[in-house]
Structures are given as C-alpha cells and as structure tokens.
Structure 1
Amino acid sequence: MPVRVKICGIRDEAGLDAACAAGADWVGFVFFGRSPRHVTAEVAGRLTHAVSINGPRRIGLFVRPTDDEIRHVLDHAWLDGLQIYDEAPRAMAIREQFGLPVWLATGVARRADLPATCGVDAMVIESRAPAGSDRPGGNARAFDWTLTERWRAPAPWLLAGGLTPDNVRTAIGQSGARAVDVSSGVESAPGVKSPELIHAFVRAARTPL
C-alpha cells in the first residue's frame, strides 16, 4: 500500500489545487493564531467546500481549543477530522463531543515518549517543541526517525516534523512510517505553499524504497 500523505497548512487555492492534483490523502487547515499558516473559519469554509467528494480528506488543526472555537470553525468549514494539540483526555472528550475522528499530536524526543495507548483515531508523531517555542508543532524540526522503527503503535500514525522532498524517503525508511505529514517543507516562504514542492514531496513519499 502506498505511503499516505497529508499536506498541512493550506491557506489558498494554489496550495489546495496542488495538493489535490498531486494526489494527497489529506489536506490540513490550521486554526491557531500564532502560526504563519493560520486561516480563519471563513477562509477555510471556502477552501474546504471546494474539495471534490473524491478529493483529499479535510483535517482541522487546533491547539488547546475550547468547544466554542471548534464549533465556530465547523459552522463554516467542512472538516472530516480534527488534529488536536492537547492532553489525551481532552482529545477524547472532543471526539465524544463532535463525533468526528480525532488525531492526537505527540512530541517525542526519546523512545519512551512514544505512546503505549491511544484513545482516539490516530496519532501525529513529531519532534518535541524546542524550549521557548510559542507553537507546539510546525517548527520544522525532525527527531531521530529510528525511534519509531519496529514500534508497536496502538493506533494508525503519521510521521511529521522537518520533512522535505529531499529527506522524506529516508525518513520513511528509517521510521517505518506508512503516512507522513508536511507543512513548511513544501513552502517557498513561511505560510506560502509551493505547488512544485508539493508535487515533489508526494512523488518522493510514494517512490518505493
């Protein structure tokens, strides 16, 4: 089965069109004001409704959100799942409240950080945020990909953090990941998606090792 790909941080039609044309499995929309990839619920609404029924699934990324914040986005945008940066019990509560699949993002620095259990639908495994960062993810930092090699993951997971078209095949080979999540690695400037890099990333991720 080909490696699955999520293009995160979509903010405009050019990035969305490129992700769809390249065959991405998911597109991500960031609802966190400190991120250069932040979109409003209204903009996300326009973009998510432009995705065809056979296109990529739409994932909304939230950082420690309130129920009202999620509800406001869902009033405008068509989302197929929620990627949550928060504690596991809160992610589970969000899943129960909104009835959508939930992915829990987890930062790791050593093998002991890898989750042994998962109460939601999937996990995003990335590097732990550096000290002093005002963002829990999206920091373009990779971790030691061999940490996840032969890991008995309790749920489906995506590898994220510091991935680019040039290193994604190596990351897949070393980590054993069957799904990858990229944002800054396919940008020409912070928050500006490059169609060329999106296509290159998807091709590289799906090139057999």
Structure 2
Amino acid sequence: MLIKICGLSTPETMEAALAAGADMIGLVLHPKSPRHVTMEQAVELAGIARGKAEIVALIVDWDGTRAAEMAGMLRPDWLQLHGSETPEAVAGLAAASGRQVMKALGIAAADDLGGIARYAGVADRILLDAKPPKDAAYPGGHGRPFDWGLLASLDPALSFMLSGGLDPANIGTAVHVTRPAGVDVSSGVESAPGVKDPARIVEYVAAARKAAASVQEGSSA
C-alpha cells in the first residue's frame, strides 16, 4: 500500500516524511490552499525527495500549456488534478505534461460514485477524497472523512487511493474498511493548518503500515 504525505512545505518536514518512509510526497501549487508553495519552493523540495519518493504536483484546473511548463521545471512523477477537470481535460493534461495523472474525486454520497467510471479509463490513478463544503475556498477534504462504507459497492478490481480526514487515529480502520491501493494525508499530520508535525507523520506512517500488513495477512490466511 502506498503512503502519500501531501502539502509539505519545508525542507525539515520533507525530510521527516522521507525518513518515516513515505512513498509519495505532494506539493500544492494552488494559491488558495494554506499548504501552497511557490514554484521556487517546490523545486527545492522536489530536489530533496527525488529518488527517495515519487513527487506529486497538485494543481487545480490548469491548462495544458501551464502544466507542461511546470512539468519541465519541477519534473514531478505525477500530476494530481483537484479541480473540475473533465475526462477530456485529464487526457489532455497527461499528454501535454508527459506525466502520470491522478484525478481526485469528491465523495459525500452514493451518487458521487457514478463519476468514477468516467475517469477510471483516462486517469492513471483515482483518488477518492471527501467532498469539500459548498463554501470552501479550495478543494480537498478539509480534514473531514467521508462515509467509507459507501465504497463497499465499488468493483474490487478498482485500484484507488483514499484521502479525506485521515489521521494516525483512524487510518487503521480506514485501511481495513476500504482496502485502498494507497492512502493520502495532509491536515491529519499537522499541528495547525499548513504546518506539518514530524511526530504525527511518523505516527501516521507506522499506523498505516501496520494496518496494511494486517490486511495482507488476513487476505493470505
């Protein structure tokens, strides 16, 4: 199971995430987010992570030209699309940037699962996140989980990452209930909005690894 720590913004917390064993790190290139980093900061942070974890650039409703320019400077492994990108836009951004693309889909009710099929054949990976509040200034789960039981009806063959309100206390339950291919955390390892806590990162990664191992043992028993 892949573990992604998103919204890292300082060399110190990047080092902490890598030391804890994160498989993927996320850099938020969306100005409205409290976890936003400039391109200069992103390049510095990516340099620390390169070769140690996969680098994910989170963008919101960019066009292909902008994405291609960013990809050339930052050289991420993935683009994480967190806006209202259509399946056609997802395909276009993948082609323009030459990068793998992960599409985030907000989930709040069973009806929201219908969009998965539209993107599953276009995006390289699907990220299921909590749908943001209607008055939210930026996308994402805003530290709140959705009802994981909704995912029971998904095709077991669907490979997805889970996000939205995950933290060291609930990650074990989340993994056992949803059996994701990966988990993505941001605010759940923070001491304040946008401020990552190295101790919470270590605790979270350890709990996620323990849960994944337990699920694997149960599947092979």
- TM bin (shorter chain): over 0.9
Q: Which residue type is aligned with residue 66 of structure 2?
A: E
Unaligned runs of 5+ in 1: none
Q: Which of 23, 34, 39 is equivalent to 1:36?
A: 34
Q: Which residue type is aligned with residue 176 of structure 2?
A: G
Q: Where does 1:74-93 land on structure 2 (aligned, <5 Å)? A: 74-85=71-82, 86-93=85-92
**Which residue in 2 is equivalent to 1:133?**
136
- Hey, what's the Cα distance between the residues in 1 that align with 2:188 and 2:198? 12
Contact 1:49–1:78 (CA under 8 A) maintained in structure 2? no
**Which residue in 2 is equivalent to 1:183?**
186
**Which residue in 2 is equivalent to 1:164?**
167
Deviations 1:55-90 (A, max 9, x none): 110000001112343234324323111001222221
Contact 2:68–2:96 (CA under 8 A) maintained in structure 1? no
Q: CA deviation at 1:152?
A: 1.0
- Hey, what's the Cα distance between the residues in 2 that align with 1:26 and 1:15? 14
TM-score (ref. length: structure 2):
0.88
Contact 1:88–1:104 (CA under 8 A) maintained in structure 2? no
Q: Which residue type is aligned with residue 103 of structure 2?
A: L
- Hey, what's the Cα distance between the residues in 1 that align with 2:36 and 2:69? 15
- Hey, what's the Cα distance between the residues in 1 that align with 2:172 and 2:59? 28
Contact 1:149–1:176 (CA under 8 A) maintained in structure 2? no
Q: Does 1:202 align with 2:200?
A: no
Contact 2:65–2:96 (CA under 8 A) maintained in structure 1? no
User: Structure 1 pair 154/93, CA: closer, same or farther in 2 (3 Å)?
Assistant: farther
Q: CA deviation at 1:176?
A: 2.0
3-state SS in 2 of match to 1:207: helix
Structure with a larger share of its residues in helix: 2
Q: CA deviation at 1:141?
A: 1.6
- Hey, what's the Cα distance between the residues in 2 that align with 1:26 and 1:153? 23
Q: CA deviation at 1:150?
A: 5.2
Unaligned runs of 5+ in 2: 215-221
Q: Where does 1:39-54 land on structure 2 (aligned, <5 Å)? A: 39-53=37-51
Identity, in percent, stands at 35
Which stretch shifts more, 157-166 or 109-118?
109-118
**Which residue in 2 is equivalent to 1:18?**
16
**Which residue in 2 is equivalent to 1:106?**
105
Q: Which has the higher contact order (CA 8 A, sep 6+)?
A: 1
- Hey, what's the Cα distance between the residues in 2 that align with 1:155 and 1:145? 15
> Matched residue pairs, number?
206
Q: Where does 1:1-16 land on structure 2 (aligned, <5 Å)? A: 3-16=1-14
Contact 1:121–1:156 (CA under 8 A) maintained in structure 2? no
Q: Which residue type is aligned with residue 92 of structure 2?
A: A
- Hey, what's the Cα distance between the residues in 2 that align with 1:83 and 1:176? 21
3-state SS in 1 of match to 2:56: strand
- Hey, what's the Cα distance between the residues in 2 that align with 1:83 and 1:64? 11
